[in-house]
Amino acid sequence: MTYESTGLSKKSPIVIQEVSSPEAGSTVVVALSGGVDSALTALLLKERGCTVIGATMSLWDEGYPIPHSESGRRESCYSPDEEKDIAECRSFCKEHDIPYYLIPVAKVYNEKVLDYFKAEYRAGKTPNPCIQCNRFVKFGAFIEGIQKELDAKGIAFDYFCTGHYARIVQIKDDIASVYGENKKTGLHPFVVTQAKDGEKDQSYFLCRLPSSILEKVRFPLSDFTKKEVYEMAKKRELAASKRKESQDFVPQTYFDILFQDKKAQEGSFINPEGRILGKHRGLEHYTVGQRRGLGISDVKPLYVQAIDSQNNTIILAYEDDLFSKALLSENWVWAGDYRPEKSFRAWVKIRLASKPVEADIIPSIEDTSVLVQFLEAQRAVAPGQSVVIYKEGLSLGGGIISRVIENA
């Protein structure tokens, strides 16, 4: 595989245009989850004079024996307690005279999220199920289901709105010029950019949404902080303002239940030189950078440095051995579907909780892979996670980490 660095583009401001907010008289579908963000989104749009339609996606199909929570409330997005949230969404819509639809998407969720999650872990990778869910379920099968329901009733909608903390803008420059390329494409894609509340920003989760979907999507809470959202919700006496936020995907306590369809294959912990240190419980129980639960002691703390699915081994190393100078990534989604032809410098995130760091983005000249070279080595880069690139706060693309390039 060959990579060719052709020089980095000089920094110049990217010309963008804010997308219009849903205007009075427009018809908007609001994705309701039972939480404060989506409920306030619906109410703010109704107060603006929009015709609001509420909809909830149903994920649960009893495919796994996950127990009900002690509180009876859904503690994660995939839970047998979703019926209570659905009932509260119905009640909210009835109280505010909002038509309501329940859209079943369990089949797609099982295939695109749960099956993907398990397969990736068993292959020694660390997947991000929320990114998959956003692309194929929440902004995929869910919207398609709503469209089908409304088409049957002769109802057209102008926007699809959610309570995400992110913004959508349209790039007014030719997309090629954003990467420093002298080429006319005629592409001015819609992209996600970071929200006002940096701590709650969800642009990383939305990295795989194409411009064709984003054109019709709006995030009305993008200019508010979470604190301001709660204040507005309490002022309007929304019941959802008293609820605790649910976790994403499923709690760690449900992990073994998801993986009970196949027996875990035990293997060896080894050090970087190949010496056996002990036995592991199965690849699906470990992630790169993990320290707890290894059951192996040494002169210094040990961490998971890498997972070798081919040999069913897990390499343990010291903290200093976890840093990498670069990564190779595949399966990219680019803004406007335009793949840059030259290298450029940008900010990247290698996981949700990591801070953006500078890197050189180098597309392969032989295939669709992309080499990401960090200006400073990064800790615990994990295959399977998403690497997302930002320029001037704009999310311009995301790929799946396929291989880590260690420090020399």
Do 150 and 103 contact (CB within 8 A), yes or no? no
Distance, in Å, from the CA atom of 192 to the CA atom of 211, rounded to the nearest integer, reads 9
Q: Note the pLDDT of residue 330.
A: 97
Strands 370-379 and 357-363 come out as antiparallel
Query: Which residue bears the tokens 């109802």?
Result: 155
CA–CA separation, 118 and 347 (whole Å): 30
> In the beta sheet, which residues pair with residue 399?
387
Residue 359 backbone class (left: φ over 0; alpha: ψ -120 to 50; beta: rest): beta
Lowest-confidence region among 67-81, 132-146, 152-166, 301-315:
67-81
Q: Is the pLDDT of residue 2 over 60?
A: no
Task: In whole angstroms, give the CA distance from residue 250 to residue 235.
Answer: 31
Q: Please report the DSSP string for 178-237 in residue order.
A: HTT---------EEEE--S-TTT--GGGGTT--HHHHTTEE-TTTTS-HHHHHHHHHHTT
Homologous superfamily of 322-406: Translation factors (2.40.30.10)
- Quick one: 275 exposed, middle or buried, by C-beta within 10 A (0-12, 13-18, 19+)? exposed
Quick one: CA dihedral 86, 42, 136, 403, positive or negative? Answer: negative
> Residue for token digits 């903390």?
165
Average pLDDT for 356-364: 97
**CB-CB contact of 32 with 55 (8 Å):** yes
For the record, the structure tokens of 401 come out as 């980490």
Residue 6 clears pLDDT 50, i.e. is over it: no
- 242, burial (CB in 10 Å: exposed 0-12, middle 13-18, buried 19+): exposed
Q: Average pLDDT, whole number, for the chain?
A: 92
Could you tell me which CATH class the domain 262-320 is placed in? mainly beta
pLDDT digit string (tens) for 237-288?
998 887 766 556 666 778 888 999 999 999 999 999 999 999 999 999 999 9
Is the distance from CB of 314 to CB of 293 less than 8 angstroms? no
Number of Cβ within 10 Å of residue 245's Cβ equals: 10
pLDDT value of residue 254 = 81
Q: Are 399 and 378 in contact (CB under 8 A)?
A: no
Give percent above pLDDT 70 in the chain: 94
Instruction: Give the start-to-end residue ranges of the domains of the chain.
Output: 16-252, 262-320, 322-406
Q: Is 74 helix (H, G, I), strand (E, B) or coil?
A: coil
The span from the CA of 371 to the CA of 176, in Å, is 19
The CATH H-level superfamily of 16-252 is HUPs (3.40.50.620)
Among 319, 317, 320, 323, which Cα is nearest to 277's?
317
- For residue 21, the model assigns a pLDDT of 93
Considering the entire predicted model, what is its pTM? 0.92
At 3 the pLDDT is 41
Q: What is the pLDDT of residue 255?
A: 83
Cα–Cα separations (whole angstroms), residue 179 to 3, 34, 132, 173, 354:
17, 41, 26, 11, 24
